[in-house]
């Protein structure tokens, strides 16, 4: 029986963690993800879970201990935001290279500097090339559902998984949510039985070798293949989840995309504003739609291109700046996907919402308006900033 | 834990096996091979090694010189990694998934311990994971080519503190990591080096491994490249380090009970330690008497302070 509740995104993710009861969680507090380890600590303190919670002295140690625990044979995870993820950067590569199925609850927040505690995707985008699967969530429900699926995906493909939600907007806003029964989640996730692990007395293991030039490239090639192959697993697990719990996810959500000629491509919480604007314009007979990315790693390039093949103009919206001088990170990859599919729609790249800057339904309407009017003009940069003082 | 017996210890199979690529005369391998002798034969271990000579030379893919499970994570996080492994052990034991006895031994050089790994080490000690952190201290960053560390003694010639026309080598005194970790009030902290039949090292390793909670062992482990000595002289250098009181052999329980394990009958002058090593060659030239006196004064000051702590 599904449970109707009202929870913040952090509570929702913590609830999934309680239901999963991972063996080890190591974490260090950072706004806005702090509540997640707090909730987990309270579950431990009250005997609701048997997780070994390791209150480390930094995020670098959080990921280090998580890697140690996972290599040892435990189901291990952590949570962080922003600078915390940046401090883990070295370790993110090691987790994927060691092919460890660890899970990280990322509550997206701007990177310093200047220091800012509010939502954007610069932390997640900064970690997009570390060999981690990245699932982005629009709201608390998706954050919860993604967390319920994360270990299944991770342990099947032996790559780490990051479950992302927007800081404050999702993590702290209380919304309605449908939760699964505890036992249903446990049954869905199953037990973790690693093939090789440090604590196997019968067959000791060595992890993290020094790899000379003869071997290093093969290790990276292996991660690349696992990332590519994970597409199948992500879809299979998401399909099974949908069959069990009634909420089905793909690589992305296509909102009014069937006959859409003008599309906004976006990730995370701001997709809601885009959908509202889309509804308004659809009521006026405009052929507009939203493609909301859920899976950013692996990047579902062919699938996105196929979904956009009949679209005349696209607004590619990044909640992160990558300082490439060309556009935000997602926009660049989207353009490459379209190019490979020999599609030539007009693409207007936009950077929005940095450091929690608001973006409204009216902003989205205006963006659709520009797409429909063929107004792709950019000034100093070859892409646009939304709601910025120039 | 069995009572210490030298012959029995030495008859235990090596857990760090031959075939690795460390230098002849390297103190690090001597240190670790002997630390691992202290493991009861039926017990298992997970070695968590910081990036170091030890790591790159004993676990070069696809070969491992370690008979136990082993993980190298990165340079600065051997302690945090070991903490995670220990947490996993506790979790899996609780769930009945494993019943063997495992011991957790983090290993780092002085770079990975005193410097870049210091935060991770301090955190793991404070959290009191049931583990031993072993620092093989060769007093500089040897793996990258003999750069100074906070373990490097004053006036040592290193590649980032070269002795030159207007330089006498490293200008600063060394950090006392053993005292710093003792200040964490963990169950057991000790420092040792290679002396006689190694019984001091063996006993300390045994106590560190089999005392519940976070324990710490610093082992002065000379490096032939960095210290510039012939391989066969390693034992003489270690003995001189102890006999000059440059490297006191002591242990601390719970930050309070300080015990001196070796008091030389005749405390030798610091020159007896310096003259065995090329890294101090510039100090033994005429005109450097003042610098040698400064080193001697620092050794004396620290030695006297230690005697007081040991109530001697």
CB B225 within 8 A of CB B141: no
Average pLDDT over residues A269-279: 98
Instruction: Please give the residue of chain B at the shortest CA–CA distance from A74.
Output: B88
pLDDT attached to residue A266? 98
| Residues of chain B falling short of pLDDT 70 | none
Binary contact (B74, A198; C-beta < 8 A): no
Question: Using omega within 30 degrees of 0 as the cis cutoff, is the peptide bond preceding A32 cis?
Answer: yes
Q: Are residues A260 and A236 in the same domain?
A: no
Same domain, A200 and A305: no
A347 has pLDDT over 90:
yes
DSSP secondary structure, A231-285, as one string: HHHHHHHHHHHHHHHS----SEEEES-TT-SEEEEEESTTHHHHHHHHHHHHHTT
Alpha helices in B51-135 (DSSP H): 53-58, 78-94, 110, 118-126
- Indicate which of B72, B77, B129 best probes the interface with A, i.e. most A CBs within 10 Å of its own CB: B77
Tens digits of per-residue pLDDT, B181-191?
999 999 999 99
Q: By the 8 A CB rule, do B54 and B28 touch?
A: yes
Q: Tell me, what's the pLDDT at B312?
A: 86
For residue A152, being part of any structural domain is answered with yes
In a domain, A25, yes or no: yes
Mean pLDDT confidence for A281-298: 98
Contact A64 B80 (CB under 8 A): yes
Report the SS3 class of residue A82.
helix
Label residue A374 by pLDDT band (50, 70, 90).
very high
CB-CB: which of B60, B92, B127 is closest to A74? B92
**Looking at residue A278, which CATH number applies to its domain?**
3.40.50.920
Q: With respect to residue A72, please indicate whether it lies within any of the assigned structural domains.
A: yes
Picking from A188, A210, A245, the residue at the C-terminal end of a domain is A245
pLDDT in tens, A294-340: 999 999 999 999 999 999 999 999 999 999 999 999 999 999 999 99
The reply to whether A162 and A260 lie within a common domain is no
Residues A154 and A265 both lie in one domain: no
CA nearest neighbour of A189 among A265, A230, A240: A240
Give chain A's mean pLDDT: 98
Shortest distance, CA A320 to any CA of chain B (angstroms):
29
Residues A191 and A266 in one domain: no
Residue A119 lies inside a defined structural domain of this protein:
yes
Instruction: Tell me the nearest-neighbour CA distance from B233 into chain A, angstroms.
Output: 30
CA distance A53 to chain B (A): 8
Of A195, A212, A245, the domain-final residue: A245
Distance of CA B251 to the CA centre of its chain: 13
Cβ-based interface (< 8 Å): residues of A facing B: 23-24, 26, 50-52, 54-58, 60-61, 64-74, 76, 90-91, 94, 198-201, 204-212, 215
For residue B59, give the chain A residue with the closest CA: A209
| Distance to chain A for B147, nearest Cα, Å | 21
Question: Residue A352's domain spans which residues?
Answer: 252-385
One domain for residues A238 and A256: no
Residue A390 lies in a domain: no
Residue A253 tokens read as 């959500």
CA of A182 to nearest chain B CA: how many angstroms apart?
19
Looking at beta carbons, which residues of chain A come within 8 Å of B89?
72, 199
A359 with A278, same domain? yes
* Contact flag A207-B95 (C-beta cutoff 8 Å): no
Q: State whether A12 and A31 are in the same domain.
A: yes
**Does any domain span residue A355?**
yes
To the nearest whole angstrom, how far is the Cα of B39 from the nearest Cα of chain A? 15
Residue contact B84–A206, C-beta within 8 A: no
Interface test with B, best of A68, A90, A205, A213 (most B CBs within 10 A): A68
**B192-213: pLDDT as tens digits:** 999 999 999 999 999 999 999 9
Are residues A312 and A262 part of one domain? Answer: yes
Structure tokens at A381: 């940069």
CA angle B266, B271, B273 (to 5 degrees): 75
Q: Which of B81, B102, B104 to mutate to test the interface with A (most CBs of A within 10 A)?
A: B81
Chain A CB contacts of B95 below 8 Å: 23, 50
Give the closest of B61, B71, B88 to A24, CB-based.
B88
Which domains, ranges and CATH numbers included, belong to chain B?
Answer: 6-309 (3.40.50.970)
Confidence band (pLDDT; 50, 70, 90) for A113?
A: very high
Cβ distance A205 to B69 less than 8 Å, yes or no, reads: yes
DSSP state of B282: G
Residue B110: per-residue pLDDT: 98
Between chain A and chain B, how many beta carbons pairs sit less than 8 Å apart? 165
Answer with the one of A218, A245, A272 that is the final residue of a domain.
A245
- DSSP, res B2: P
- CB contacts, 8 Å: A198 with chain B: 46, 69-71, 85, 88
Give DSSP secondary structure letters for A125-155. Answer: HHTTTSS-EEEE-SSHHHHHHHHHHHHHHHH
Domain count, chain A: 2
Q: SS3 for B203-250, per residue?
A: HHHHHHHHCCCEEEEEEECCCHHHHHCCHHHHHHHHHHHHHCCCCCCE
Most B CBs within 10 Å: which of A20, A21, A49, A54, as the mutation test of the B interface?
A: A54
Do residues A306 and A220 both lie within one domain? no
> Is A336 part of any domain?
yes
CATH of the domain at A36: 3.40.50.970
- Percent of chain A with pLDDT strictly greater than 70: 100
Clarify whether residues A200 and A347 are in a common domain. Answer: no
Q: Which residue of A has its CA nearest to B117?
A: A61
Residue A4 pLDDT grade (very low, low, confident, very high; cuts 50, 70, 90): very high
Which residue does chain A place closest to B82, by CA atoms?
A68
* Same-domain check for residues A227 and A290: no
- Please check the confidence at residue A269 and state whether its pLDDT lies above 90: yes
Percentage of the residues of chain A whose pLDDT score is greater than 90: 99
Mutate to test the interface with A, among B50, B79, B80, B143 (most CBs of A within 10 A): B80
Q: ipTM of this complex > 0.85?
A: yes
């Amino acid at each position: 029986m599904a449970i109707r509740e009202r929870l913040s995104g952090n509570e929702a993710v913590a609830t999934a963690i309680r239901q999963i009861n991972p063996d080890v969680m190591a974490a260090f507090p950072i706004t806005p993800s702090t509540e997640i380890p707090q909730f987990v600590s309270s579950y431990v303190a009250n005997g609701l879970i048997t997780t070994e919670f390791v209150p480390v002295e930094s995020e670098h140690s959080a990921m280090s201990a998580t890697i140690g625990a996972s290599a040892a044979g435990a189901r291990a995870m952590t949570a962080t935001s922003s600078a915390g993820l940046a401090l883990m950067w070295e370790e993110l590569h090691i987790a994927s290279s060691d092919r460890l199925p660890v899970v990280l609850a990322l509550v997206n927040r701007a990177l310093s500097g200047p220091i800012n505690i509010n939502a954007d995707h610069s932390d997640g985008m900064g970690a997009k090339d570390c060999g981690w699967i990245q699932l982005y969530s629009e709201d608390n429900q998706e954050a919860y559902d993604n967390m319920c699926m994360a270990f299944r995906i991770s342990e099947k493909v032996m790559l780490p998984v990051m479950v992302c939600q927007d800081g404050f907007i999702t993590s702290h806003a209380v919304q309605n949510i449908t939760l699964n029964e505890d036992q249903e989640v446990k049954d869905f996730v199953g037990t973790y039985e690693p093939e090789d692990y440090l604590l196997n007395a019968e067959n000791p293991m060595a992890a993290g070798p020094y790899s000379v030039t003869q071997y290093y490239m093969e290790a990276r090639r292996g991660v690349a293949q696992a990332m590519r192959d994970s597409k199948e697993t992500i879809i299979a697990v998401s399909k099974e989840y949908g069959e069990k719990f009634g909420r089905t996810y793909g690589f992305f959500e296509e909102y009014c995309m069937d006959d859409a000629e003008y599309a906004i491509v976006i990730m995370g919480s701001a997709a809601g504003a885009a959908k509202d604007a889309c509804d308004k314009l659809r009521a006026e007979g405009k052929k507009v739609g939203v493609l909301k990315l859920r899976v950013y790693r692996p990047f579902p390039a062919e699938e996105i291109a196929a979904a956009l093949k009949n679209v005349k103009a696209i607004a590619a919206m990044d909640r992160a700046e990558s300082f490439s001088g060309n556009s935000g990170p997602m926009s660049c990859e989207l353009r490459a996907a379209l190019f490979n599919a020999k599609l030539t729609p007009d693409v207007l790249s936009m950077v929005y919402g940095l450091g929690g800057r608001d973006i409204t339904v009216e902003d989205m309407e205006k963006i659709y308006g520009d797409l429909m009017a063929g107004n792709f003009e950019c000034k100093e940069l070859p892409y646009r900033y939304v709601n910025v003082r120039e | 834990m069995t009572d210490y017996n030298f012959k029995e210890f030495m008859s235990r199979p090596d857990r760090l096996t031959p075939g690795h690529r460390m230098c002849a005369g390297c103190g690090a391998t001597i240190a670790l091979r002997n630390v691992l002798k202290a493991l009861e034969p039926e017990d298992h271990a997970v070695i968590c090694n910081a990036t170091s000579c030890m790591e790159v030379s004993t676990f070069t893919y696809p070969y491992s010189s370690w008979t136990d499970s082993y993980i190298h994570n990165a340079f600065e996080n051997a302690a945090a990694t070991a903490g995670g492994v220990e947490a996993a052990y506790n979790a899996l034991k609780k769930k009945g998934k494993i019943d063997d006895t495992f011991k957790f031994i983090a290993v780092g050089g002085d770079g990975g311990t005193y410097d870049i790994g210091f935060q991770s080490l301090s955190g793991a000690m404070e959290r009191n994971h049931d583990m031993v952190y072993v620092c093989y201290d060769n007093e500089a960053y040897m793996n990258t080519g003999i750069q100074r560390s906070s373990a490097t003694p004053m006036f040592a010639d290193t590649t980032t503190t070269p002795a030159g026309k207007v330089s006498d080598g490293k200008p600063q005194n060394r950090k006392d990591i053993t005292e710093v970790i003792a200040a964490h009030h963990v169950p057991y902290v000790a420092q040792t080096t290679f002396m006689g039949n190694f019984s001091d090292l063996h006993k300390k390793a045994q106590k560190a491994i089999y005392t519940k909670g976070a324990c710490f062992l610093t082992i002065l482990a000379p490096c032939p490249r960095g210290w510039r000595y012939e391989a066969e002289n390693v034992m003489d250098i270690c003995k001189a380090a102890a006999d000059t009181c440059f490297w006191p052999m002591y242990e601390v329980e719970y930050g309070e009970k300080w015990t001196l394990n070796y008091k030389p009958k005749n405390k030798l002058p610091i020159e007896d330690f310096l003259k065995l090593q090329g890294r101090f060659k510039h100090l033994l030239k005429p005109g450097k008497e003042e610098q040698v006196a400064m080193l001697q004064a620092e050794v004396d000051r620290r030695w006297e302070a230690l005697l007081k702590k040991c109530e001697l």
